[in-house]
Structure 1
Amino acid sequence: MFNESDAEKFFTLISRSREYLKEWMAWLDNIKSVEDVSKNIQGRLEAFVENGGHPKSFAIIYKGDIAGTIGFNEIHKKDRIGLVGYWLGEEFQGNGIMAKALNTLIDYGFKELKLNRVEIHVAVENKKSRALPERFGFVEEGRFRQAEWLNDHYVDHIIYALLAEEWRTK
C-alpha cells in the first residue's frame, strides 16, 4: 500500500515518465506537485477505510523503487465487480513487472475481496496495456465508442473481463 511518505518518490516517477505516459493517461495534467500526489495518496488511504480495511490500490515496488501502481479504480460491491487500472514508469518497462503485479491483483480480487468479475478497460490503440488482459485469459467483450477524452481527442475502449470461475480453473 502507498503511504504518505511515498509522495515525493511517486511524484518523481510521474515526472520522469510524464511524456511517455501522457499518450494514454489524461490525469497527468492534474499532477503538478508533490502536494497533488500527496492528496492522491490520502484518497487511496481513505478508500482503504471505506473498503472495510481492504486496500484497493498498491505501489509496485521493483528493486526498492516505486515503479508504478496497480489497483481497483472502482469496486461495485453489490455486483462484486472490480475495475482494474495500472501503469508502469517508462524505465521499468520490459521486465515482466506488470504481469506479476496483475497476477497478484487478480488473485487478491477473487480470493480476498470475493469479486466475481474483474474488468479492464483499455484504449484500442494501447497495445502494451491490451496485451496483459489477453495474456491472462480475459475475454474481450466489446468496445465502448469514444469512451475517454484523451488530451485532444476521443478514444474507444476495449472491455475485457475475467470471471472468478475462469480464474479458478487456471
Structure 2
Amino acid sequence: MQLIQWTPDHASDLFRLIETNRTHLSPWLPWIKNTNSLHDIQSYIQRSLIAASKQEFHFGIWLDQQLIGSVTIERLHAIHRVAEIGYWVAKEMSGKGYMELAVRRLIAYLFQDLKLNRLEIRCTPANQRSQRIPQKVGFCYEGRLCEAIYMNGRFHDLLIYGLTYTRWDELERLPKQDNTDPAATLSLPPLM
C-alpha cells in the first residue's frame, strides 16, 4: 500500500472512485455534493497542491496500483506541533484494515519525522465506522463539539479524538500483534 500526494495525473482515478462511492461518502463528506465533474476534481487537486505550501496535504491510498481512498493532513500548525487527520475509503474496501494501516503509517510519519506533539481526528456521532479508526490506533475520546459542522442541510456535532506523542510512544513500546505492513510506503514531500 502507498500513500501518494495527489497530482493532476490522479484526477481521473479520483473522479471514478468518488462517482462509484458517492452514496457511500455523501452522508459524511459535505464536499461530495459539489464534486460532479472531472473539472471539479482537477480543481480540488490544484487547490490541495496550493494548500501543501500552507501545511495541508492530501493523499491517495493506493493498493496494488488501484486507488482505494484518501487520507489528509489538515490544520497542521508548526508552532504548536499539532495536526488533524481526515480520511475516507471506498465502500468495498471498508472494514478490511486498509484505512487503519494508512492512518498508522501517517501517524508514525507525523510523530517521528515531523516531530509533532498532538494529532486529532474528528467525525460525526453517526459515523461509527470512522470512529473505529481512532479507537483502534490509540486515540482517546476527548469530547463532543456541538453543531460544529454543517452538512446535508443541518448542523451536526463532531466527536473529537486526540493522540499525543507521549501516549503513542508508550503504545508503540507495548508488545502487539503484527498488524503492520512493512511494504506500506508514504510518498511525502518535506513539510517543514
1:4 is matched with which residue?
8
Amino acid at match of 2:45: I
1:85-144 deviation line (CA, Å, top 9, x unaligned): 100011221221101000001111111222110000110111000011011111111100
Deviation >6 Å, runs of 4+ = none
Following superposition, the deviation at residue 56 of structure 1 comes to 2.1
Structure 2 distance, partners of 1:41, 1:80, is: 25
Structure 1 distance, partners of 2:58, 2:38, is: 19
**SS, match of residue 115 in structure 1:** coil
Structure 2 distance, partners of 1:158, 1:94, is: 20
1:159 is matched with which residue?
160
Structure 2 distance, partners of 1:100, 1:116, is: 20
Structure 2 residue ranges without an equivalent (≥5): 172-192
Amino acid at match of 2:53: V
**SS, match of residue 169 in structure 1:** helix
1:27 is matched with which residue?
31
Select which of 38, 41, 47 maps to 1:43. 47
Relative to total residues, which structure has the larger helix share, 1 or 2? 1
Structure 1 distance, partners of 2:106, 2:142, is: 21
Contact 1:117–1:162 (8 Å) recurs in 2: yes
Following superposition, the deviation at residue 44 of structure 1 comes to 2.0
**SS, match of residue 101 in structure 2:** helix
Following superposition, the deviation at residue 49 of structure 1 comes to 3.4
Give the alignment of 1:1-170 within 5 angstroms: 1-51=5-55, 56-170=57-171
Structure 2 distance, partners of 1:94, 1:124, is: 18
Structure 2 distance, partners of 1:155, 1:28, is: 16
Structure 2 distance, partners of 1:100, 1:37, is: 25
Amino acid at match of 1:166: R
Higher relative contact order (CA 8 A, sep 6+): 2
**SS, match of residue 53 in structure 2:** helix
* TM value normalised by structure 1: 0.93
**SS, match of residue 59 in structure 2:** strand
Structure 1 residue ranges without an equivalent (≥5): none
Sort the Cα spacing of 1:45 and 1:161 in 2 relative to 1 into closer, same or farther, 3 A: same
**SS, match of residue 84 in structure 1:** strand
Structure 1 distance, partners of 2:52, 2:26, is: 27
